[in-house]
């Protein structure tokens, strides 16, 4: 079976959960030191009553090192702060450790709660046996078991040895929603004190004995290569120890970062610019917009599809455009590698540690078991660190120099050699009947596949499921419209690209929700009731591989609108805009943005968000992810754009690739809806897609101007 893009991004959570079940619920207690026990691979109760969980997810700001312990502490009845964390190292015991697809919580939710509940039941059984009473009269509280009738009490430390000899229950009872004491309550992050004192150790802060620092000179043109190089001057820089060629370029290895940087500056390299030296992103974006006018490969057709436009009383057409963008996390790419005696050890801020291990093994001709990958704390992931290029590069350098080495990317390295969010263009068409009702919808995306994934196969070309997978937010339009046709025009691109926050959704949702606003204004309707009416239809509905619950989407729309004061008058120059989206079939989000447009451009004053991500673990994390998603998306609306001229990425830092600063921060209000389903869904990405259309719809409300091309520049508003 073909693995879809969606599955590729999610595999960590889905398979991770399956693995938990395989390993954990066979009734076997895994080998463990005497007197400690492990109801599954992820949880260990020590002989002293200590509790440690292994975290299979990378911490990159989503709060996983707090929310996952919360799940165990809740069921096991221990103090959250007493739960120790161990970062999983890929190996036979811990597989599929990928962190992506917003899946940190939903992929662990059931398994970790079940593990905690199993351990609790084993401890309770051990206590009941010791007292010769029935377990029903005993309860766990505060790392102890208490016998209600007699008030007798035994600590987990006193019970761990006996509990370790009991079978792991197959179906422990997890708490009902009404019994939850911790899950669902705002909980501050456990690693906060380390962060505010500078003691949190990120990839770049990791040190190993004998380690040297390296930087790599890479070809300035995408797809370029080294012709020849002379390191005479570089080697003369004090502190430079070695200069070696690796597949990505020329590595300068030195005693410290500064010496490595000076050495790299002194390198004399002649580059072959390769086949893409003529690539220009301005021309490419024009090509995308042109390609979007032509026929595409079908991803979905409902009713008569585009043919229905012919009989419409009125027709609207528009093209929306989305730029190339960089992840630009604050911690640049970096990795430590040590290659010695037929083994390799790696420390890296990665979202994909198993891929790092397997690729390193390949490079070194070793078995994967000979490679150990330590996942460090990550200074911003956003999907960039699903790519493993920087880790593999460090392995090459370490192999060449034979000493432990940390390869650091400078900010310009990071900005120019990322795998970018690809540009796309969206050709929209809508048909209204004589009464102004929306009866036909067309959305054609012209874009490029993400180059860190395999290229579409010949079989993919005529498979609507494949093109659905490349156009989240377009084909899965949640609204009930009699005729819908969505398709995709593949435009080849030499620009390295990969997933970023919300992957394909931000561009598609920007086009979809903005164009729906155009439909509303054209038909003289308020955008809120228009959407609510379009969500009346049957619910839930299956679209491709997704199930869309229109009732939940209505609920978030109504909530966001009510909290934002939708419909209340605003002074001249100000406007409100609305957008909604179901991300990945799971998390339902609606947003209302309020803007002021004046002489100095657009100011986003306020964003009101309503989110429904099912049962939630830590509302503080959810609020933060919404605030974060707003800032992330505002960067795409008003700030950064990666441009490429002569095959060279032109940006180098946060000056020419601007990002929002504190003064740009709107007031963000997050309203979390109570769960109506049993399974949680992700929140890391879902807040991103509705932001751009909500803001641009607000700009339209304030000015009457429809801006269809991102990022918005001052001239667009002049």
Residues that bind another protein in the complex, under the rule CB under 8 A:
60-63, 188-189, 191-193, 195-202, 204-205, 207, 213, 238, 256-258, 328-332, 377-382, 408, 410-411, 620, 624, 627-632, 653-655, 659-665, 667-668
The CA angle 60-14-76, to the nearest 5 degrees, is: 75
Distance of closest approach, residue 660 Cβ to another protein, in angstroms: 7
> For another protein, which is the closer residue by CB, 332 or 424?
332
> For another protein, which is the closer residue by CB, 99 or 144?
99
Distance of closest approach, residue 643 Cβ to another protein, in angstroms: 19
Q: Residue 663: helix, strand or coil by DSSP?
A: helix
> For another protein, which is the closer residue by CB, 189 or 574?
189
Distance of closest approach, residue 453 Cβ to another protein, in angstroms: 24
- What's the CA gap between 247 and 273, in Å, rounded? 15
> For another protein, which is the closer residue by CB, 254 or 530?
254
Long-range contacts of the stretch 206-209 (C-beta < 8 A, 24+): 206/336, 206/347, 206/376, 206/406, 208/336, 208/338, 208/347, 208/404, 209/404
Distance of closest approach, residue 139 Cβ to another protein, in angstroms: 31
Those residues with Cβ within 8 angstroms of residue 443's Cβ, 6 or more apart along the chain or in another chain: 426, 427, 428, 471, 474, 475, 477, 485, 486, 508, 511, 512, 515
> For another protein, which is the closer residue by CB, 432 or 692?
692
248-261 burial, b at 16+ Cβ within 10 Å, e below that, comes to bbbbbbbeebebbb
Number of separate helices (H) and strands (E) present in the chain: 18, 29
> For another protein, which is the closer residue by CB, 105 or 312?
105
Distance of closest approach, residue 125 Cβ to another protein, in angstroms: 38
Distance of closest approach, residue 666 Cβ to another protein, in angstroms: 8
> For another protein, which is the closer residue by CB, 229 or 654?
654
Instruction: Please name which of 282, 110, 151 lies closest in space to residue 643, comparing C-alpha atoms.
Output: 282
> For another protein, which is the closer residue by CB, 195 or 367?
195
Q: Distances in Å between the alpha carbon of 582 and those of 513, 606, 637, 649?
A: 12, 22, 20, 33
Instruction: Please name which of 229, 224, 213, 218 lies closest in space to residue 262, comparing C-alpha atoms.
Output: 213
Distance of closest approach, residue 687 Cβ to another protein, in angstroms: 10
Do residues 375 and 353 lie in contact, with contact meaning Cβ atoms separated by under 8 Å? yes
Q: Residue 606: helix, strand or coil by DSSP?
A: strand
- Alpha-helix residue ranges (DSSP H) falling in 603-662: 619-638
> For another protein, which is the closer residue by CB, 494 or 640?
640
The CA angle 326-331-336, to the nearest 5 degrees, is: 115
Q: Which two tokens stand for residue 713?
A: 């520049």
Distance of closest approach, residue 620 Cβ to another protein, in angstroms: 6
> For another protein, which is the closer residue by CB, 460 or 641?
641
- What's the CA gap between 410 and 216, in Å, rounded? 9
Strands laid side by side in the 574-583 sheet: 574-583, 587-598, 601-612, 667-672
Distance of closest approach, residue 188 Cβ to another protein, in angstroms: 4
> For another protein, which is the closer residue by CB, 212 or 708?
212
Handedness of CA 240, 243, 246, 248 (dihedral sign): positive
> For another protein, which is the closer residue by CB, 572 or 663?
663
Distance of closest approach, residue 381 Cβ to another protein, in angstroms: 8
Instruction: Please name which of 660, 680, 664 lies closest in space to residue 611, comparing C-alpha atoms.
Output: 680
> For another protein, which is the closer residue by CB, 165 or 207?
207
Those residues with Cβ within 8 angstroms of residue 245's Cβ, 6 or more apart along the chain or in another chain: 226, 229, 251, 400
Distance of closest approach, residue 402 Cβ to another protein, in angstroms: 21
- What's the CA gap between 386 and 451, in Å, rounded? 12
Q: Which two tokens stand for residue 248?
A: 């990505």
Instruction: Please name which of 203, 206, 212, 225 lies closest in space to residue 252, comparing C-alpha atoms.
Output: 212
> For another protein, which is the closer residue by CB, 238 or 524?
238
- What's the CA gap between 589 and 690, in Å, rounded? 7
> For another protein, which is the closer residue by CB, 345 or 623?
623
- What's the CA gap between 352 and 265, in Å, rounded? 32
Could you write out the three-class secondary structure of 44-100? EECCCCCEEEEECCCCCCCCHHHHHHHHHHHHHCCCHHHEEEEECCCCCCCCCCCCC
Instruction: Please name which of 299, 277, 279 lies closest in space to residue 287, comparing C-alpha atoms.
Output: 279
Distance of closest approach, residue 228 Cβ to another protein, in angstroms: 28
DSSP annotation string for 357-417: HHHHHHHHT--GGGEEEEEPB-S--TTGGG--HHHHHHHHHHHHH-S-EEEE--HHHHHHS
Those residues with Cβ within 8 angstroms of residue 636's Cβ, 6 or more apart along the chain or in another chain: 322, 323, 325, 506, 692, 710, 711
Distance of closest approach, residue 571 Cβ to another protein, in angstroms: 20
Distance of closest approach, residue 503 Cβ to another protein, in angstroms: 18
- What's the CA gap between 646 and 636, in Å, rounded? 23
Distance of closest approach, residue 626 Cβ to another protein, in angstroms: 10
> For another protein, which is the closer residue by CB, 94 or 632?
632
Distance of closest approach, residue 362 Cβ to another protein, in angstroms: 30
């Amino acid at each position: 079976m073909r693995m879809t893009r969606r599955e590729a991004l999610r595999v960590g959570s889905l398979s991770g959960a399956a693995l938990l079940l395989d390993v954990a619920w066979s009734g076997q207690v895994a080998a463990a030191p005497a007197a400690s026990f492990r109801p599954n691979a992820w949880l260990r109760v020590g002989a002293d009553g200590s509790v440690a969980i292994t975290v299979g997810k990378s911490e990159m700001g989503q709060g996983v090192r707090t929310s996952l312990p919360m799940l165990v502490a809740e069921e096991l009845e221990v103090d959250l702060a007493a739960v120790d964390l161990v970062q999983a190292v890929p190996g036979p015991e811990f597989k599929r450790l990928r962190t992506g697809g917003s899946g940190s919580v939903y992929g662990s939710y059931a398994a970790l709660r079940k593990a905690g509940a199993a351990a609790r039941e084993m401890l309770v059984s051990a206590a009941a046996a010791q007292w010769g009473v029935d377990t029903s009269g005993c309860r766990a509280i505060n790392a102890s078991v208490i016998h209600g009738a007699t008030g007798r009490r035994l600590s987990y430390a006193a019970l761990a040895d006996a509990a370790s000899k009991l079978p792991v229950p197959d179906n422990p009872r997890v708490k009902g929603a009404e019994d939850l004491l911790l899950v669902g309550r705002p909980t501050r992050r456990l690693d906060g004190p380390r962060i505010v004192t500078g003691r949190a150790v990120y990839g770049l802060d990791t040190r190993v004995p004998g380690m040297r620092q390296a930087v790599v000179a890479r070809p300035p043109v995408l797809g370029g290569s080294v012709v020849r190089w002379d390191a005479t001057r570089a080697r003369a820089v004090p502190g430079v120890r070695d200069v070696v060629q690796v597949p990505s370029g020329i590595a300068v290895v030195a005693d410290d970062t500064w010496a490595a940087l000076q050495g790299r500056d002194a390198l004399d390299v002649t580059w072959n610019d390769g086949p893409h030296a003529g690539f220009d992103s301005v021309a490419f974006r024009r090509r995308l917009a042109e390609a979007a006018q032509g026929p595409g490969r079908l991803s979905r057709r409902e009713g008569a599809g585009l043919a229905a436009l012919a009989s419409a009383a009125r027709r609207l057409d528009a093209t929306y455009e989305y730029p190339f963008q960089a992840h630009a996390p604050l911690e640049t790419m970096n990795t430590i590698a040590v290659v010695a005696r037929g083994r390799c050890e790696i420390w890296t801020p990665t979202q994909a540690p198993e891929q790092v291990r397997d690729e390193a093994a390949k490079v070194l001709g070793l078995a994967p078991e000979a490679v150990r990958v330590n996942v460090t704390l990550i200074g911003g992931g956003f999907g960039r660190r699903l790519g493993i290029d920087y880790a593999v590069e460090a392995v090459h350098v370490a192999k060449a120099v034979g000493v432990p080495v940390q390869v650091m990317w400078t900010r310009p390295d990071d900005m120019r050699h990322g795998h970018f969010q690809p540009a796309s263009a969206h050709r929209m068409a809508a048909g209204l009947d004589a009464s102004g009702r929306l009866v036909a919808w067309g959305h054609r995306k012209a874009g490029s596949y993400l180059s860190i994934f395999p290229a579409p196969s010949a079989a993919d070309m005529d498979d609507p499921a494949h093109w659905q997978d490349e156009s989240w937010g377009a084909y899965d339009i949640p609204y009930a419209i009699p005729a819908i046709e969505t398709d995709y025009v593949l435009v080849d691109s030499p620009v390295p690209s990969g997933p970023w926050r919300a992957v394909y959704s931000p561009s598609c949702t920007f086009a979809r929700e903005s164009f729906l606003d155009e439909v509303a204004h054209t038909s003289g309707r308020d955008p809120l009731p228009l959407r609510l009416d379009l969500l009346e239809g049957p619910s839930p509905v299956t679209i491709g591989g997704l199930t869309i619950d229109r009732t939940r989407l209505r609920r978030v729309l109504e909530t966001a609108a009510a909290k934002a004061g939708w419909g209340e008058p605003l002074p001249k120059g100000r406007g409100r805009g609305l957008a909604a989206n179901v991300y990945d079939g799971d998390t339902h989000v609606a947003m209302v943005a309020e803007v002021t447009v004046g002489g100095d451009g657009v100011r986003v004053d306020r964003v009101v968000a309503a989110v429904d991500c099912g049962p939630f673990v830590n509302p503080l994390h959810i609020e933060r992810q919404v605030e974060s998603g707003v800032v992330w998306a505002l960067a795409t609306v008003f700030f950064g754009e990666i441009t490429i001229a002569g095959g060279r990425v032109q940006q180098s830092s946060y000056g020419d690739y601007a990002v929002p600063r504190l003064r740009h921060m709107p007031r963000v209000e997050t309203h979390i809806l109570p769960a109506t389903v049993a399974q949680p869904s992700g929140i890391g990405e879902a807040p991103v897609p509705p932001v751009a259309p909500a803001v641009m719809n607000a700009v339209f409300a304030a000015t009457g101007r429809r801006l269809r091309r991102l990022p918005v520049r001052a001239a667009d508003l002049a």
